[in-house]
Amino acid sequence: MIAYRLHYFPESGNSYKLALMLRLCGQPFEGIWTDFGGGVTRTPEWRRAVNEMGEIPVLEEDGVKTTQTALILRRLAARYGQYGGSDPEEVLRWLIWDNQKLSGQMATYRFLRTYTKDADPAVLTFLRWRVDDCLRIAEARLADRAFVMGDEPTIADISMCAYLSFPEDETGYRLADSHPAVQAWLGRIAALPGWKSPYDLLPGERLPRYDR
Ligand SMILES: N[C@@H](CCC(=O)N[C@@H](CS)C(=O)NCC(=O)O)C(=O)O
């Protein structure tokens, strides 16, 4: 059995992707809470010792550090024969879109909106417009499918659901009203055996909030 150690901070949707995948595959992991708010990932020491890219999450597999959730999700899916889907290239297409667009922009919007003291309103407006478009795309994709790839959940769902799984007072979106197909899909993901919410899987000291 591989010993997993996940370097994370609780608000990190990217960390949640890996925590949820491990959990759904029945794999225990040790969480390494990381002082992201204190700036540790920006220090040369951390970058030298943990991740030269300065990013959370980092997953250690028997002591070997690996990064980039899309890559890791694909590896875990192959290793455990779960959530890989029947068309790996199409799954990868959605993983790339999620990294660059849905997660990438939602993460930045939520961080500015909820965890940044003096966020520029013009930047917030721009990012919200970008997230709105991503959600429109997700809503259309899920209007007539149970999951992103069809009837079965895959790592594309695990990746795309992450930042939408946080409370609405953090994301600023009441999806049940604005994007009902996305909300219904999140409900189907939450019904998967073993599912847990982000803060149940990723406990620990939280970032200070600046609610608007
Ligand atoms: N593509 C990366 C994204 C990781 C990422 O952006 N992590 C955030 C925290 S959730 C981070 O460390 N950001 C630091 C920064 O952008 O400087 C992945 O999927 O692992």
User: Rounded to whole angstroms, what are the CA distances from 202 to 27, 54, 121, 159?
Assistant: 15, 20, 30, 16
Question: Can you tell me the distance from the alpha carbon of 48 to that of 54, in angstroms, rounded to the nearest whole number?
Answer: 9
Give residue 212 CA to ligand 1 midpoint distance, Å: 24
**Mean pLDDT over the full length of the chain:** 98
**pLDDT at residue 212 tops 90:** no
The structure's pTM equals 0.98
Q: Is 56 in the pocket of ligand 1 (CB under 6 A)?
A: yes
Index of the ligand 1 atom closest to the CA of residue 14: 10
Q: Is 154 in the pocket of ligand 1 (CB under 6 A)?
A: no
In the block, tokens 């997700």 appear at 138
Q: Is 139 in the pocket of ligand 1 (CB under 6 A)?
A: no
Index of the ligand 1 atom closest to the CA of residue 104: 6
Structure tokens at 122: 């013009």
Contact yes or no for 202/16 (Cβ under 8 A): yes
The stretch 114-124 carries a mean pLDDT of 97
Q: Is 158 in the pocket of ligand 1 (CB under 6 A)?
A: no
Q: Is 14 in the pocket of ligand 1 (CB under 6 A)?
A: yes
- The protein residue whose alpha carbon is closest to atom 12 in ligand 1 is 55
- The protein residue whose alpha carbon is closest to atom 1 in ligand 1 is 68
Q: Is 105 in the pocket of ligand 1 (CB under 6 A)?
A: no
The stretch 186-203 carries a mean pLDDT of 98
Question: Can you tell me the distance from the alpha carbon of 99 to that of 105, in angstroms, rounded to the nearest whole number?
Answer: 9
Q: What is the pLDDT of residues 133-173, one digit of tens each?
A: 999 999 999 999 999 999 999 999 999 999 999 999 999 99
Q: Please give the domain boundaries of the chain with CATH numbers for all domains.
A: 4-82+196-201 (3.40.30.10), 88-190 (1.20.1050.10)
Q: Is 40 in the pocket of ligand 1 (CB under 6 A)?
A: no
Q: What percent of the chain has pLDDT over 70?
A: 100
- Residue 211: per-residue pLDDT: 75
Distance of CA 122 to the CA centre of its chain: 25
